[in-house]
Amino acid sequence: MTENCRNTEKQMQRGGSCPAEAVRKDFPILTERTAYLDNAATTQKPRCVIEAVKRFYEEENANPLRGLYELSAAATQEYEDAREAVQGFIGASFPEEIIFTRNTTESLNLIAYSWALNNLGPGDGILTSVEEHHSNLLPWQMAAKKTGASLYYLEPDREGRISGEAFRAALKPGTKLAAVTQVSNVLGAENDIRLFAEIAHEAGAVFVCDGAQSVPHMKVDVRELDVDFLAFSGHKMLGPMGIGVLYGKKALLEEMDPFLRGGEMIRSVSLDGASWAQLPAKFEAGTVNAAGAAGLHAAIRYYEKLGWDRITEAERELTRYAIEGMKKIPFVKILGSPDPERHNAIVTFTVEGVHPHDIAAIMDEDHICVRAGHHCAQPLMNFLGVSSSARASFAFYNTKEEIDRFLVCLGSLRRRMGYED
C-alpha cells in the first residue's frame, strides 16, 4: 500500500465499514459534480494506480526481460511481481499460468487462435451462449468457420440464468470447448461456473470463463471453479487500460502454439523456423505493458486492503437501493431479474417512449454517466426483444446520493421529453 491510498487505510484502521466518502478521496476523478454510473464499461482509478504507472515511467522504465543492466532488471521485477499478484488474486497454481494481454477481448481471441484453431475440426463442437458479450462470441464464430466445427448457443432464461441441466443438455457429443460468461454485462445475472466447468470436464470439453464482469466484483478463485481458462480486463477493476489477463491451466498453455510471434517469445530462431520460449513468455510477444502491469498490481493491492466483504456489501446495497427506487418510477422496465441480489451491480433498463440514447443524453445534462445502446451484446438484445437499452452500473465508491440523483433524473425523463403524464 502506498501512501496514496492512505484514506482508505485510515478508515479501515478505525474499523469502519469503509463508506464511500472515505474511499472516494482515493479517486482523483470523482467529484460531487459527476455521478459516474458506467462502471461495467470501465472503472475509475485510485491514486495509487495512477501513481504506480507514473512511478514506473519516472523510476523504472526500461524494456523488461531484455536489458542486462540494473534498470531493466528493475522493470522486469516490477512486471513479474505484478504477475505473482494476479496469481494470488485469482488463486492460480503457478505464476506462469498468468498471461498478460491487453484486455478480455485479446485473452479470448488468444484461446480461439491458439487453442481452438489447432484442436478443432469438422464434427467437433463449440458451445457458448446467447447472452455473451461480442468478445466471447465472435472469436468462436471465427474458430467454427475456419475449422468446420459446429457452434451451438445456450439460451438463458428471461433473467439471464442458465441452469446446470440446460448446460448439460446443450453439451452435444463432440463438443470440445464451452465458453460462458460468469456475469452477464447486460443483465448482471451470475452463472454457476463451477458446475458448468465440472459438467464440461465430464464431457471431455475445455471450459472458458469470461470474467470481465465478475473478477472486479467478487472473489473468483480459478482452482475452486476449476476453469481451464479465465479472461478479464485490468481497466474494469481499477487498473489502467491496456492491461488484461488470460489465466490458463499450465498443461493446456504448454501444449498451445503461440498467438502472436515476434520479440522475446522464442527459444531460438533460424531462417528455417523457430522454437518457442517457456511460459509465460511464449504468449507475450513484443514489448510488454509493464507500466500497465504495475498499475494492475496496485489495483489488486487496493482490492486486498479494502477486502471483498466491504466491496460486495457496498455494491449489493447500492444495487438494492437503485432497483427499489426504479421500481417505483412509472414506465421504467428493468431487464433481467426483479431481485436486486441477482444483478451484481448492473441494472439495464428501458423507459417507455424514451429512446435509450435520449435517456443517456438527458442523464448527461444532469452530469450522470450511464451507458446506452446494445452493450456489445446484440444477440442477447434480440433474444430479449429490445433494440437497445440503457444501463447503470455501480462500484463500491458510488454513493446513495448519486443513486438519488439518478432516480430523480429517471423520474423526470418523460416530462422532459414532452409527455404529460
Nearer to other proteins, 203 or 413 (CB): 413
**Is 376 a residue of the active site?**
yes
The residue within the footprint of other proteins, chosen from 3, 165, 365, 421 (CB under 8 A), is: 365
Integer CA distances (angstroms), 65 to 46, 54, 259, 286, in order? 28, 20, 19, 11
> For residues 202-219, b (16+ Cβ closer than 10 Å) or e, as one string?
ebebbbbbbbbbbbbbbb
Nearer to other proteins, 275 or 387 (CB): 387
The residue within the footprint of other proteins, chosen from 357, 382, 401, 408 (CB under 8 A), is: 357
Q: How far is CA 164 from the centre of its chain?
A: 23
Nearer to other proteins, 18 or 351 (CB): 351
Calpha distance 208→228 (Å, rounded): 6
Q: Which of 48, 209, 369, 376 is catalytic?
A: 376
Instruction: Choose the stretch contacting other proteins; rule: CB under 8 A; options: 80-88, 133-141, 276-284, 361-369.
Output: 361-369
Which three cell numbers, joined as nine digits, stand for 105? Answer: 477481448
Is the backbone peptide bond immediately before 379 cis, with ω within 30 degrees of 0?
no
Beta carbon of residue 415, minimum distance to other proteins (angstroms, whole number): 10
Instruction: Choose the stretch contacting other proteins; rule: CB under 8 A; options: 136-144, 147-155, 177-185, 354-362.
Output: 354-362
Nearer to other proteins, 257 or 352 (CB): 352
The residue within the footprint of other proteins, chosen from 373, 379, 400, 405 (CB under 8 A), is: 373
Calpha distance 306→11 (Å, rounded): 10
Query: Residue 154 is inside which H or E element, if any?
Result: strand 150-154
Per CB under 8 A, does 421 bind other proteins? Answer: no
Beta carbon of residue 367, minimum distance to other proteins (angstroms, whole number): 11
* Residue pointed to by grid coordinates 471483498: 308
Integer CA distances (angstroms), 9 to 12, 306, 307, in order? 5, 8, 11
* Residue pointed to by grid coordinates 468457420: 145
SS3 368: strand
Per CB under 8 A, does 374 bind other proteins? Answer: yes
Beta carbon of residue 353, minimum distance to other proteins (angstroms, whole number): 8
Q: What is the footprint of other proteins within residues 389-418 (CB under 8 A)? A: 416-418
- CA torsion sign for 225, 183, 245, 151 is positive
Per CB under 8 A, does 158 bind other proteins? Answer: no
The residue within the footprint of other proteins, chosen from 50, 331, 388, 411 (CB under 8 A), is: 388
The residue within the footprint of other proteins, chosen from 223, 387, 401, 408 (CB under 8 A), is: 387
Calpha distance 32→18 (Å, rounded): 18
* Residue pointed to by grid coordinates 498451445: 256
Instruction: Choose the stretch contacting other proteins; rule: CB under 8 A; options: 94-102, 272-280, 325-333, 349-357.
Output: 349-357
The residue within the footprint of other proteins, chosen from 361, 382, 401, 408 (CB under 8 A), is: 361
- Those residues whose C-beta lies under 8 Å from the C-beta of residue 45, and which sit 6 or more positions away, are 27, 29, 238, 239, 240, 295, 299
Q: Are 393 and 37 in contact (CB under 8 A)?
A: yes
Instruction: Choose the stretch contacting other proteins; rule: CB under 8 A; options: 10-18, 101-109, 289-297, 353-361.
Output: 353-361
Calpha distance 152→141 (Å, rounded): 10
Query: Residue 265 is inside which H or E element, if any?
Result: none
Per CB under 8 A, does 138 bind other proteins? Answer: no
Per CB under 8 A, does 379 bind other proteins? Answer: no
Per CB under 8 A, does 419 bind other proteins? Answer: yes
Instruction: Choose the stretch contacting other proteins; rule: CB under 8 A; options: 89-97, 197-205, 266-274, 359-367.
Output: 359-367
Query: Residue 266 is inside which H or E element, if any?
Result: strand 266-270
Per CB under 8 A, does 194 bind other proteins? Answer: no
Per CB under 8 A, does 355 bind other proteins? Answer: yes
Q: Which residues contact other proteins by CB under 8 A?
A: 354-358, 361-362, 365, 373-374, 387-388, 416-419
Catalytic residue numbers read: 376
